[in-house]
Structure 1
């Protein structure tokens, strides 16, 4: 009868089970340093170098295959299923940005071209990027060729940022306007309506009240494909006070563009402008006598001008008299000899 068919009798353990328990007991009795690295068995954490190579290679191949499969299906989803002309991720309403400085304060000296020219250059660069002949479009705001920053009529440009797929929902009648709109917007809607427009309002919150003018008007032409100058409104402050900081608040009005007063650019923009003028330069006017003299010099003909003498070239200043010439010692001795004749001494 074969041994594998034999049924053991009595209380004993099988050889394999006994060997396993004996191996476990031996490993349990090993010190911790032997468990980490056993130089006799050539093992690291209980595995030989060949065992580590096999297990690391297995997981590298496994995860590489998983990554390739995932990348394959993502590529098909992004390139074949989603339309490349439509946004892949939906965003919220568009924000607002401002030029020349997208910051909360604009301060400059109007008589210092070193401060005005960089502002004008920044505006020119922004308008050239619109690729819509924007400089000519807003030419009415650039009468002094410096966008009003040397004539106390500075212009700022408020841009409605682009969000692909955003369709504005506008206020087209006066009854649609919310209660919190500033006074005067209903009159603006009556004047420029009823075509769909995103309205913009600007008001002074602190400081003197300059006149605020919008170019081409206080609105953005509302459409899904707003491009170029359709996304920009120029705001000009006429008769801007000097040496006084004026705070402005501009808001856009549309049904699906909420106004968040806590965050700059979310439906509203707040900024301050400070036109600085050196008062000492304003008071430094030349006296009337100097102006009259200068004018008379210019109008005198060349033929009637008096002859200029050499002594007049010194500007009318009298030079001090020349110092007396010192005599030499020899001349002084000769003079003394002539004054007192020599006599013989008494014998």
Structure 2
């Protein structure tokens, strides 16, 4: 009896490292592969196949239910209920190189084609979508609009940048002549309708005087044209105002109202304003702020709402 007990509690023989690995991979005495028999492997494999099949089916069903709540053409959360809110931001082009993405400085040498070439290429890339045939089938949706003649349902207004005088691709957007064009655009907000400053007796006090005179003149010439989101650009500091030189807005001084609201119609083009800086002072950094003007546009420089800041330096 004592001999049997000693044999029962006897330690298994100590195996070497490679022998232990070999025995783990295949134990011929027990028929185990990596610690499990064939039936054990079959059961655990079947379990995980069923488990992941059910998990995949559940995820697919939930995804299908989620997509039923979405409209591919209309966002579920709009304007004040959305993350972007109902106050559009103002953007500018061309943008600095990606290596300096945080910068807002447009700096180049007008006498060096390799130097100003980046800005011209950036504008070419940006405006490519505004070519009539740039989007397949989109050109059929675009029509020429005017004040009092908005686009009918299913159509969008065209933006013909080929006729913008100094600010065209053929003219290198004025960069080779030290008279650059900066393009402005409003961020798209679905369903947002601008409230125009079409009452010349109720213009805000902080609106530039030259813009007030422009609005008054437009109202006298053609009252329909004051249904516009107006644009102003000016130097931020007295020195900037002195150095910025004459400014021209092409094709007009604002975004015409017939481009709004944005409803995600195929082929839609955001309206643009090209700001032509005719004679900025050479070799001087000029701080510029541009603003979009409508009653429901709030200017907030910190949150970049309704206005945009950039610097211009021409050597």
TM category (shorter chain) comes to 0.5 to 0.7
1:251 is the counterpart of 2:294: no
- Cα 1:66–1:89 change in 2 (3 A) is farther
Contact 2:162/2:169 (8 A) holds in 1: no
The CA distance in 1 between the partners of 2:284 and 2:161, in whole Å, is: 29
Q: How does 1:263-342 map to 2 (within 5 A)?
A: 263-264=303-304, 266-276=305-315
- Cα 1:274–1:140 change in 2 (3 A) is closer
TM-score (norm 1): 0.55
1:214 deviates by 0.3
- Cα 1:76–1:271 change in 2 (3 A) is same
Contact 1:198/1:254 (8 A) holds in 2: yes
Contact 1:99/1:156 (8 A) holds in 2: yes
1:107 deviates by 1.0
2:313 alignment partner, SS class: strand
Partner of 2:14 in structure 1?
A: none
- Cα 1:188–1:250 change in 2 (3 A) is same
2:176 alignment partner, SS class: coil
Which one of 200, 204, 212 corresponds to residue 247 of structure 2?
Answer: 212
The CA distance in 1 between the partners of 2:181 and 2:47, in whole Å, is: 67
Which one of 178, 187, 195 corresponds to residue 213 of structure 2?
Answer: 187
Deviation per residue, 1:95-138 (Å, 9 max, x gap):
22211126421111111111122222221221122234744132
Which one of 156, 167, 174 corresponds to residue 182 of structure 2?
Answer: 156
- Cα 1:138–1:59 change in 2 (3 A) is same
- Cα 1:200–1:274 change in 2 (3 A) is same
Contact 2:247/2:275 (8 A) holds in 1: yes
Partner of 2:233 in structure 1?
A: 202
The CA distance in 2 between the partners of 1:166 and 1:61, in whole Å, is: 49
Partner of 1:310 in structure 2?
A: none
Which one of 185, 189, 196 corresponds to residue 170 of structure 1?
Answer: 196
1:219 deviates by 0.6
1:230 deviates by 5.1
The CA distance in 1 between the partners of 2:160 and 2:125, in whole Å, is: 11
Q: Which has the larger radius of gyration?
A: 1
Gaps of at least 5 residues in structure 2 are 1-41, 97-102, 133-158
Contact 1:205/1:247 (8 A) holds in 2: yes
Contact 1:158/1:233 (8 A) holds in 2: yes
